[in-house]
Chain A
Amino acid sequence: MIKAKDITKVFGKNTVLKNISTTINQGEVVTVIGPSGSGKSTFLRCLNLLEEPTSGEIFIQDRKINDKKANKLEIRKNIGMVFQHFHLFPHMTVLENVIYAPQKVKNQSKTEAEKIAKDLLAKVGLTDKEDAYPNRLSGGQKQRVAIARALAMEPEIMLFDEPTSALDPEMVKEVLDVMKDLVNTGMTMVIVTHEMNFAKEVADKVLFLDDGVLLEEADPKQFFEKPQTDRARDFLDKVL
Protein backbone atom coordinates (compact mmCIF):
# COMPACT_ATOMS: atom_id res chain seq x y z
CA MET A 1 0.00 0.00 0.00
CA ILE A 2 2.76 2.46 0.96
CA LYS A 3 6.25 1.94 -0.33
CA ALA A 4 9.14 4.23 0.49
CA LYS A 5 12.37 3.83 -1.46
CA ASP A 6 15.54 5.57 -0.31
CA ILE A 7 13.83 8.67 0.99
CA THR A 8 16.27 11.41 1.86
CA LYS A 9 15.23 14.80 3.13
CA VAL A 10 17.58 17.74 3.47
CA PHE A 11 16.76 21.03 5.19
CA GLY A 12 19.50 23.48 4.31
CA LYS A 13 22.70 21.76 5.42
CA ASN A 14 20.83 19.36 7.65
CA THR A 15 20.11 15.86 6.35
CA VAL A 16 17.09 14.86 8.36
CA LEU A 17 16.16 11.58 6.66
CA LYS A 18 18.80 9.27 5.28
CA ASN A 19 17.83 6.69 2.68
CA ILE A 20 14.73 5.39 4.37
CA SER A 21 13.10 2.42 2.72
CA THR A 22 10.13 0.50 4.01
CA THR A 23 6.88 -1.07 2.92
CA ILE A 24 3.58 -0.80 4.70
CA ASN A 25 0.88 -3.21 3.65
CA GLN A 26 -2.84 -2.67 3.47
CA GLY A 27 -4.42 -2.89 6.91
CA GLU A 28 -1.09 -2.77 8.69
CA VAL A 29 -0.52 -0.65 11.76
CA VAL A 30 2.99 0.73 11.95
CA THR A 31 4.33 2.72 14.86
CA VAL A 32 7.31 5.00 14.42
CA ILE A 33 9.41 5.65 17.48
CA GLY A 34 12.70 7.30 18.20
CA PRO A 35 14.30 10.19 20.03
CA SER A 36 13.07 13.73 19.52
CA GLY A 37 14.58 15.26 16.39
CA SER A 38 15.26 11.90 14.78
CA GLY A 39 13.03 12.71 11.80
CA LYS A 40 9.79 10.91 12.72
CA SER A 41 7.52 13.82 11.85
CA THR A 42 9.42 14.58 8.68
CA PHE A 43 9.09 10.96 7.56
CA LEU A 44 5.36 11.00 8.25
CA ARG A 45 4.91 14.34 6.50
CA CYS A 46 6.66 13.01 3.41
CA LEU A 47 3.98 10.35 3.09
CA ASN A 48 1.29 12.95 2.34
CA LEU A 49 3.68 15.41 0.74
CA LEU A 50 3.47 18.07 3.41
CA GLU A 51 7.22 17.73 2.93
CA GLU A 52 8.73 16.97 -0.44
CA PRO A 53 11.48 14.33 -0.19
CA THR A 54 14.79 15.64 -1.51
CA SER A 55 15.39 12.31 -3.21
CA GLY A 56 13.90 8.85 -3.25
CA GLU A 57 10.49 7.61 -4.23
CA ILE A 58 7.20 7.11 -2.45
CA PHE A 59 4.54 4.89 -3.93
CA ILE A 60 1.00 4.66 -2.69
CA GLN A 61 -0.96 1.82 -4.23
CA ASP A 62 1.81 1.54 -6.82
CA ARG A 63 1.44 5.15 -7.88
CA LYS A 64 4.48 7.32 -7.43
CA ILE A 65 3.33 10.36 -5.47
CA ASN A 66 6.44 12.54 -5.28
CA ASP A 67 6.25 13.30 -8.94
CA LYS A 68 5.78 16.64 -10.68
CA LYS A 69 2.79 15.26 -12.54
CA ALA A 70 1.07 13.77 -9.50
CA ASN A 71 -1.89 15.70 -8.12
CA LYS A 72 -1.13 16.40 -4.47
CA LEU A 73 -4.72 17.19 -3.55
CA GLU A 74 -5.94 13.98 -5.10
CA ILE A 75 -3.37 11.99 -3.12
CA ARG A 76 -4.14 13.71 0.16
CA LYS A 77 -7.86 13.02 -0.13
CA ASN A 78 -7.01 9.41 0.50
CA ILE A 79 -4.64 10.01 3.44
CA GLY A 80 -5.92 11.40 6.71
CA MET A 81 -3.56 13.12 9.12
CA VAL A 82 -3.85 13.84 12.83
CA PHE A 83 -1.46 16.38 14.37
CA GLN A 84 0.03 16.70 17.81
CA HIS A 85 -1.63 20.09 18.26
CA PHE A 86 -4.98 19.15 16.67
CA HIS A 87 -5.18 22.18 14.34
CA LEU A 88 -8.96 22.29 14.44
CA PHE A 89 -10.46 25.28 12.63
CA PRO A 90 -11.23 27.59 15.56
CA HIS A 91 -13.91 29.64 13.81
CA MET A 92 -16.01 26.57 13.01
CA THR A 93 -18.11 24.43 15.30
CA VAL A 94 -17.22 20.78 15.82
CA LEU A 95 -19.74 19.68 13.22
CA GLU A 96 -18.58 22.34 10.74
CA ASN A 97 -14.99 21.20 11.22
CA VAL A 98 -15.95 17.67 10.28
CA ILE A 99 -18.20 18.43 7.29
CA TYR A 100 -16.05 21.15 5.74
CA ALA A 101 -13.61 19.08 3.70
CA PRO A 102 -16.07 16.43 2.47
CA GLN A 103 -18.27 19.22 1.13
CA LYS A 104 -15.47 21.27 -0.42
CA VAL A 105 -13.21 18.49 -1.59
CA LYS A 106 -15.55 15.60 -2.34
CA ASN A 107 -18.56 17.72 -3.26
CA GLN A 108 -20.76 15.94 -0.78
CA SER A 109 -24.11 17.55 -0.10
CA LYS A 110 -24.53 19.11 3.30
CA THR A 111 -27.07 16.47 4.33
CA GLU A 112 -24.81 13.65 3.28
CA ALA A 113 -21.75 15.17 4.96
CA GLU A 114 -23.69 15.81 8.15
CA LYS A 115 -24.96 12.27 8.27
CA ILE A 116 -21.43 10.88 8.00
CA ALA A 117 -20.11 13.46 10.45
CA LYS A 118 -22.74 12.67 13.05
CA ASP A 119 -21.97 8.98 12.75
CA LEU A 120 -18.28 9.66 13.28
CA LEU A 121 -18.87 12.03 16.18
CA ALA A 122 -20.98 9.34 17.82
CA LYS A 123 -18.14 6.86 17.32
CA VAL A 124 -15.63 9.16 19.02
CA GLY A 125 -18.16 9.92 21.75
CA LEU A 126 -18.77 13.59 21.03
CA THR A 127 -22.37 13.74 19.86
CA ASP A 128 -23.20 16.31 22.52
CA LYS A 129 -20.42 18.64 21.37
CA GLU A 130 -21.56 19.06 17.76
CA ASP A 131 -22.33 22.74 18.11
CA ALA A 132 -19.46 23.66 20.41
CA TYR A 133 -16.49 25.69 19.22
CA PRO A 134 -13.09 24.01 19.62
CA ASN A 135 -11.98 26.40 22.37
CA ARG A 136 -14.72 24.96 24.59
CA LEU A 137 -13.26 21.46 24.35
CA SER A 138 -10.62 19.69 26.36
CA GLY A 139 -7.47 18.50 24.61
CA GLY A 140 -8.73 14.94 24.45
CA GLN A 141 -12.01 16.06 22.94
CA LYS A 142 -10.22 18.24 20.41
CA GLN A 143 -8.08 15.34 19.29
CA ARG A 144 -11.11 13.10 18.91
CA VAL A 145 -12.75 15.76 16.73
CA ALA A 146 -9.55 15.97 14.70
CA ILE A 147 -9.68 12.21 14.16
CA ALA A 148 -13.34 12.41 13.12
CA ARG A 149 -12.49 15.27 10.76
CA ALA A 150 -9.80 13.21 9.07
CA LEU A 151 -12.02 10.11 8.88
CA ALA A 152 -14.86 12.09 7.30
CA MET A 153 -12.86 12.10 4.08
CA GLU A 154 -13.05 8.31 4.17
CA PRO A 155 -9.31 7.87 3.64
CA GLU A 156 -7.63 4.51 3.22
CA ILE A 157 -4.57 5.54 5.20
CA MET A 158 -4.34 7.45 8.47
CA LEU A 159 -1.20 9.19 9.71
CA PHE A 160 -0.83 10.19 13.35
CA ASP A 161 1.94 12.49 14.54
CA GLU A 162 2.23 12.14 18.33
CA PRO A 163 -1.53 12.43 18.78
CA THR A 164 -1.37 12.25 22.57
CA SER A 165 1.81 14.21 23.29
CA ALA A 166 0.03 17.50 23.88
CA LEU A 167 -2.60 15.99 26.17
CA ASP A 168 -2.93 15.98 29.93
CA PRO A 169 -2.26 12.43 31.17
CA GLU A 170 -5.87 11.74 32.09
CA MET A 171 -6.96 12.36 28.49
CA VAL A 172 -4.47 10.11 26.76
CA LYS A 173 -6.60 7.00 27.18
CA GLU A 174 -9.74 8.37 25.54
CA VAL A 175 -7.75 9.20 22.40
CA LEU A 176 -5.88 5.90 22.36
CA ASP A 177 -9.19 4.07 22.74
CA VAL A 178 -10.56 5.79 19.67
CA MET A 179 -7.41 4.83 17.79
CA LYS A 180 -7.73 1.23 18.92
CA ASP A 181 -11.27 1.14 17.56
CA LEU A 182 -9.84 2.35 14.29
CA VAL A 183 -7.18 -0.36 14.33
CA ASN A 184 -9.97 -2.91 14.65
CA THR A 185 -11.65 -1.61 11.50
CA GLY A 186 -8.59 -2.64 9.51
CA MET A 187 -7.43 0.87 8.68
CA THR A 188 -3.86 1.22 7.43
CA MET A 189 -2.19 3.41 10.05
CA VAL A 190 1.20 5.00 10.57
CA ILE A 191 1.57 6.30 14.09
CA VAL A 192 4.40 8.35 15.55
CA THR A 193 4.09 7.94 19.29
CA HIS A 194 5.83 7.97 22.63
CA GLU A 195 3.20 5.69 24.15
CA MET A 196 5.29 2.53 24.24
CA ASN A 197 2.62 0.26 25.66
CA PHE A 198 0.20 1.35 22.99
CA ALA A 199 2.85 0.87 20.30
CA LYS A 200 3.53 -2.63 21.59
CA GLU A 201 -0.14 -3.50 21.78
CA VAL A 202 -1.48 -2.33 18.42
CA ALA A 203 1.48 -2.37 16.09
CA ASP A 204 2.10 -4.97 13.42
CA LYS A 205 5.48 -3.41 12.93
CA VAL A 206 7.74 -0.92 14.69
CA LEU A 207 10.07 1.48 12.92
CA PHE A 208 12.89 2.85 15.04
CA LEU A 209 14.40 6.07 13.70
CA ASP A 210 17.60 7.55 15.03
CA ASP A 211 19.25 10.63 13.57
CA GLY A 212 17.40 10.22 10.30
CA VAL A 213 18.34 6.58 9.88
CA LEU A 214 15.86 3.73 10.00
CA LEU A 215 17.84 1.65 12.46
CA GLU A 216 15.32 -1.09 13.13
CA GLU A 217 12.21 -2.37 11.47
CA ALA A 218 10.80 -5.16 13.52
CA ASP A 219 7.93 -7.04 15.00
CA PRO A 220 6.90 -5.15 18.17
CA LYS A 221 7.40 -8.09 20.46
CA GLN A 222 10.89 -8.67 19.20
CA PHE A 223 11.74 -4.99 19.18
CA PHE A 224 10.64 -4.26 22.73
CA GLU A 225 12.10 -7.44 24.18
CA LYS A 226 15.25 -7.75 22.16
CA PRO A 227 16.25 -4.60 20.30
CA GLN A 228 19.09 -5.28 17.89
CA THR A 229 20.98 -2.00 18.19
CA ASP A 230 22.57 -0.22 21.14
CA ARG A 231 20.80 2.99 20.17
CA ALA A 232 17.41 1.30 20.41
CA ARG A 233 18.36 -0.34 23.70
CA ASP A 234 19.44 3.02 25.16
CA PHE A 235 16.27 4.65 23.93
CA LEU A 236 14.02 1.96 25.41
CA ASP A 237 15.91 2.07 28.71
CA LYS A 238 15.17 5.78 28.93
CA VAL A 239 11.48 5.69 28.04
CA LEU A 240 10.26 2.48 29.56
Chain B
Amino acid sequence: MNLDFSQIVPYIPFMLEGIWATLEFVIVSILIGLVLGTLLALCKITKAPLLKGLADVYTSIFRGTPLILQLMIIYFAVPQLTGYDIPAFLSAILAFGLNSAAYVSEIIRAGIMAVDKGQTEAAEALGVPYRPMMFNIILPQAIKNILPALMNEFITLTKESAIVSTIGYLDLMRRAQIVGADIYRNFEPLLVAGAIYWIMIFVLTKVGQAVERRMRQSD
Protein backbone atom coordinates (compact mmCIF):
# COMPACT_ATOMS: atom_id res chain seq x y z
CA MET B 1 0.00 0.00 0.00
CA ASN B 2 1.51 3.21 -1.13
CA LEU B 3 -0.83 6.09 -0.43
CA ASP B 4 0.39 9.60 0.17
CA PHE B 5 -2.10 12.39 0.52
CA SER B 6 0.41 14.95 1.78
CA GLN B 7 1.37 16.03 -1.73
CA ILE B 8 -2.12 17.06 -2.71
CA VAL B 9 -2.72 19.24 0.31
CA PRO B 10 -1.60 22.42 -1.55
CA TYR B 11 -4.03 21.51 -4.33
CA ILE B 12 -7.05 21.14 -2.06
CA PRO B 13 -8.37 24.71 -2.62
CA PHE B 14 -7.99 24.20 -6.36
CA MET B 15 -10.00 21.01 -6.17
CA LEU B 16 -12.64 22.47 -3.89
CA GLU B 17 -13.26 25.25 -6.40
CA GLY B 18 -14.21 22.44 -8.75
CA ILE B 19 -17.27 21.80 -6.61
CA TRP B 20 -18.69 25.16 -7.55
CA ALA B 21 -17.57 24.78 -11.18
CA THR B 22 -19.49 21.51 -11.32
CA LEU B 23 -22.53 22.72 -9.37
CA GLU B 24 -22.78 25.89 -11.43
CA PHE B 25 -23.34 24.16 -14.73
CA VAL B 26 -25.29 21.28 -13.22
CA ILE B 27 -27.80 23.72 -11.73
CA VAL B 28 -28.14 25.72 -14.95
CA SER B 29 -28.53 22.47 -16.91
CA ILE B 30 -31.21 21.20 -14.54
CA LEU B 31 -33.16 24.45 -14.94
CA ILE B 32 -32.92 24.28 -18.74
CA GLY B 33 -33.96 20.64 -18.58
CA LEU B 34 -36.94 21.41 -16.38
CA VAL B 35 -38.30 24.27 -18.45
CA LEU B 36 -37.71 22.65 -21.82
CA GLY B 37 -38.77 19.25 -20.50
CA THR B 38 -42.08 20.69 -19.28
CA LEU B 39 -42.73 22.30 -22.66
CA LEU B 40 -41.88 19.05 -24.45
CA ALA B 41 -44.17 17.11 -22.12
CA LEU B 42 -47.02 19.50 -22.88
CA CYS B 43 -46.36 18.99 -26.62
CA LYS B 44 -46.50 15.24 -26.12
CA ILE B 45 -49.97 15.30 -24.59
CA THR B 46 -51.55 17.69 -27.08
CA LYS B 47 -53.80 16.50 -29.83
CA ALA B 48 -51.74 18.45 -32.39
CA PRO B 49 -49.88 15.70 -34.27
CA LEU B 50 -47.03 17.95 -35.48
CA LEU B 51 -46.04 19.17 -32.01
CA LYS B 52 -46.36 15.67 -30.63
CA GLY B 53 -44.26 14.23 -33.45
CA LEU B 54 -41.51 16.81 -33.03
CA ALA B 55 -41.36 16.26 -29.28
CA ASP B 56 -41.18 12.49 -29.77
CA VAL B 57 -38.38 12.78 -32.34
CA TYR B 58 -36.47 15.14 -30.07
CA THR B 59 -36.74 12.72 -27.16
CA SER B 60 -35.78 9.77 -29.30
CA ILE B 61 -32.62 11.47 -30.57
CA PHE B 62 -31.38 12.73 -27.22
CA ARG B 63 -32.11 9.48 -25.44
CA GLY B 64 -30.84 7.35 -28.30
CA THR B 65 -27.30 8.72 -28.59
CA PRO B 66 -24.49 8.97 -26.03
CA LEU B 67 -24.38 12.15 -24.00
CA ILE B 68 -20.65 12.47 -24.57
CA LEU B 69 -21.28 12.47 -28.32
CA GLN B 70 -23.89 15.23 -27.96
CA LEU B 71 -21.41 17.24 -25.91
CA MET B 72 -18.65 16.76 -28.49
CA ILE B 73 -20.94 17.67 -31.37
CA ILE B 74 -21.97 20.91 -29.71
CA TYR B 75 -18.43 21.78 -28.71
CA PHE B 76 -16.75 20.95 -32.01
CA ALA B 77 -19.52 21.30 -34.59
CA VAL B 78 -20.73 24.75 -33.62
CA PRO B 79 -17.36 26.48 -34.32
CA GLN B 80 -16.89 24.48 -37.49
CA LEU B 81 -20.34 25.32 -38.85
CA THR B 82 -20.81 28.87 -37.63
CA GLY B 83 -17.35 30.13 -36.82
CA TYR B 84 -18.51 30.94 -33.30
CA ASP B 85 -15.96 29.66 -30.81
CA ILE B 86 -18.35 28.25 -28.27
CA PRO B 87 -17.04 28.32 -24.69
CA ALA B 88 -16.84 25.04 -22.76
CA PHE B 89 -19.37 26.25 -20.18
CA LEU B 90 -21.97 27.11 -22.80
CA SER B 91 -21.41 23.79 -24.58
CA ALA B 92 -21.80 21.98 -21.30
CA ILE B 93 -25.09 23.59 -20.26
CA LEU B 94 -26.47 23.15 -23.77
CA ALA B 95 -25.57 19.48 -24.00
CA PHE B 96 -26.67 18.62 -20.48
CA GLY B 97 -29.74 20.87 -20.54
CA LEU B 98 -31.01 19.60 -23.89
CA ASN B 99 -30.27 16.00 -22.94
CA SER B 100 -31.91 16.29 -19.55
CA ALA B 101 -34.99 17.88 -21.15
CA ALA B 102 -35.58 14.67 -23.08
CA TYR B 103 -35.58 12.56 -19.92
CA VAL B 104 -37.50 15.12 -17.86
CA SER B 105 -40.18 15.39 -20.56
CA GLU B 106 -40.83 11.66 -20.33
CA ILE B 107 -41.01 11.81 -16.54
CA ILE B 108 -43.43 14.76 -16.61
CA ARG B 109 -45.54 13.23 -19.37
CA ALA B 110 -46.01 10.09 -17.29
CA GLY B 111 -46.74 12.24 -14.23
CA ILE B 112 -49.43 14.19 -16.07
CA MET B 113 -51.04 11.00 -17.37
CA ALA B 114 -51.15 9.68 -13.80
CA VAL B 115 -53.21 12.63 -12.51
CA ASP B 116 -56.84 11.59 -12.06
CA LYS B 117 -58.86 12.37 -15.17
CA GLY B 118 -61.55 13.77 -12.89
CA GLN B 119 -59.30 16.74 -12.17
CA THR B 120 -59.34 17.75 -15.81
CA GLU B 121 -63.10 17.27 -15.97
CA ALA B 122 -63.72 19.30 -12.84
CA ALA B 123 -61.64 22.14 -14.24
CA GLU B 124 -63.32 21.91 -17.64
CA ALA B 125 -66.76 21.86 -16.08
CA LEU B 126 -65.89 25.11 -14.29
CA GLY B 127 -64.97 26.68 -17.61
CA VAL B 128 -61.24 26.90 -16.81
CA PRO B 129 -59.19 27.36 -20.01
CA TYR B 130 -56.49 24.85 -20.97
CA ARG B 131 -53.44 26.79 -19.91
CA PRO B 132 -54.41 27.71 -16.33
CA MET B 133 -55.86 24.22 -15.94
CA MET B 134 -52.48 22.75 -16.86
CA PHE B 135 -50.33 25.10 -14.80
CA ASN B 136 -52.57 25.54 -11.75
CA ILE B 137 -54.33 22.20 -11.46
CA ILE B 138 -52.64 19.37 -13.33
CA LEU B 139 -48.91 20.16 -13.22
CA PRO B 140 -48.72 20.86 -9.46
CA GLN B 141 -50.23 17.43 -8.84
CA ALA B 142 -48.05 15.77 -11.46
CA ILE B 143 -44.88 17.28 -9.98
CA LYS B 144 -45.71 15.74 -6.66
CA ASN B 145 -45.99 12.25 -8.15
CA ILE B 146 -42.81 12.55 -10.13
CA LEU B 147 -40.54 14.13 -7.56
CA PRO B 148 -38.66 10.90 -6.81
CA ALA B 149 -38.05 10.28 -10.52
CA LEU B 150 -36.95 13.89 -11.02
CA MET B 151 -34.54 13.66 -8.09
CA ASN B 152 -33.11 10.57 -9.70
CA GLU B 153 -32.60 12.45 -12.95
CA PHE B 154 -30.79 15.29 -11.13
CA ILE B 155 -28.53 12.80 -9.38
CA THR B 156 -27.71 11.07 -12.64
CA LEU B 157 -27.00 14.41 -14.24
CA THR B 158 -24.67 15.42 -11.42
CA LYS B 159 -22.67 12.22 -11.75
CA GLU B 160 -22.61 12.29 -15.53
CA SER B 161 -21.42 15.88 -15.36
CA ALA B 162 -17.88 14.52 -15.01
CA ILE B 163 -17.71 13.96 -18.75
CA VAL B 164 -17.39 17.71 -19.36
CA SER B 165 -13.77 17.17 -18.39
CA THR B 166 -13.36 15.84 -21.94
CA ILE B 167 -13.88 19.30 -23.43
CA GLY B 168 -11.52 20.94 -20.99
CA TYR B 169 -14.09 22.50 -18.67
CA LEU B 170 -12.45 22.88 -15.29
CA ASP B 171 -14.92 20.86 -13.26
CA LEU B 172 -14.11 18.70 -10.29
CA MET B 173 -13.12 15.73 -12.45
CA ARG B 174 -10.84 17.74 -14.72
CA ARG B 175 -9.14 19.29 -11.72
CA ALA B 176 -8.45 15.88 -10.25
CA GLN B 177 -6.77 14.90 -13.52
CA ILE B 178 -4.70 18.08 -13.58
CA VAL B 179 -3.52 17.57 -10.03
CA GLY B 180 -2.70 13.96 -10.86
CA ALA B 181 -0.55 15.04 -13.80
CA ASP B 182 1.16 17.66 -11.66
CA ILE B 183 2.23 15.38 -8.85
CA TYR B 184 2.58 12.20 -10.86
CA ARG B 185 0.11 10.43 -8.63
CA ASN B 186 -3.40 9.84 -9.96
CA PHE B 187 -4.97 7.66 -7.34
CA GLU B 188 -5.09 10.15 -4.46
CA PRO B 189 -6.67 13.09 -6.34
CA LEU B 190 -9.20 10.73 -7.89
CA LEU B 191 -10.07 9.39 -4.44
CA VAL B 192 -10.54 12.94 -3.15
CA ALA B 193 -12.74 13.81 -6.15
CA GLY B 194 -14.73 10.61 -5.61
CA ALA B 195 -15.31 11.49 -1.98
CA ILE B 196 -16.52 14.97 -2.95
CA TYR B 197 -18.89 13.59 -5.60
CA TRP B 198 -20.24 11.11 -3.09
CA ILE B 199 -20.90 13.86 -0.54
CA MET B 200 -22.62 16.04 -3.15
CA ILE B 201 -24.91 13.20 -4.19
CA PHE B 202 -25.54 12.31 -0.57
CA VAL B 203 -26.63 15.88 0.20
CA LEU B 204 -28.76 16.01 -2.95
CA THR B 205 -30.48 12.77 -1.95
CA LYS B 206 -31.19 14.08 1.54
CA VAL B 207 -32.59 17.34 0.19
CA GLY B 208 -34.79 15.34 -2.16
CA GLN B 209 -36.10 13.21 0.67
CA ALA B 210 -36.83 16.28 2.76
CA VAL B 211 -38.77 17.94 -0.06
CA GLU B 212 -40.71 14.76 -0.65
CA ARG B 213 -41.57 14.47 3.01
CA ARG B 214 -42.82 18.06 3.07
CA MET B 215 -44.96 17.50 0.01
CA ARG B 216 -46.44 14.37 1.47
CA GLN B 217 -47.62 16.33 4.50
CA SER B 218 -50.48 17.83 2.52
CA ASP B 219 -51.75 14.31 1.76
Residues of A within 8 A of B (CB): 48, 50, 72-77, 79-81, 83, 85, 87-91, 100-101, 104-105, 133, 135, 149-150, 153
Contact = CB atoms under 8 A, between A and B. Distances in A.
A100 B126 CA distance: 10
Nearest to B141: A91
B146 to A, nearest CB: 14
Contacts of A105: 126-129
A48 B127 CA distance: 10
B122 A104 contact: no
A85 B140 CA distance: 20
B122 A89 contact: yes
B121 interface: yes
Interface of B: 116, 118-119, 121-129, 132, 136-137, 140-141, 144, 218-219
Given A104-B132, A104-B136, A48 B144 contact: no
A153 B141 contact: no
B126 A101 contact: yes
A45 to B, nearest CB: 8
B152 to A, nearest CB: 22
B122 to A, nearest CB: 4
B180 to A, nearest CB: 50
Contact of B137 (A89, A150, A153): A89
5 contacts: A74-B127, A76-B125, A80-B125, A87-B118, A91-B144
Nearest to B122: A87
B126 A90 contact: no
Nearest to A73: B127
B34 to A, nearest CB: 19
Nearest to A93: B218
A95 B116 CA distance: 21
B137 A149 contact: no
A50 B218 contact: no
Contacts of A50: 121, 124-125
B124 A76 contact: yes
B72 to A, nearest CB: 42
Contacts of B122: 81, 83, 87-89
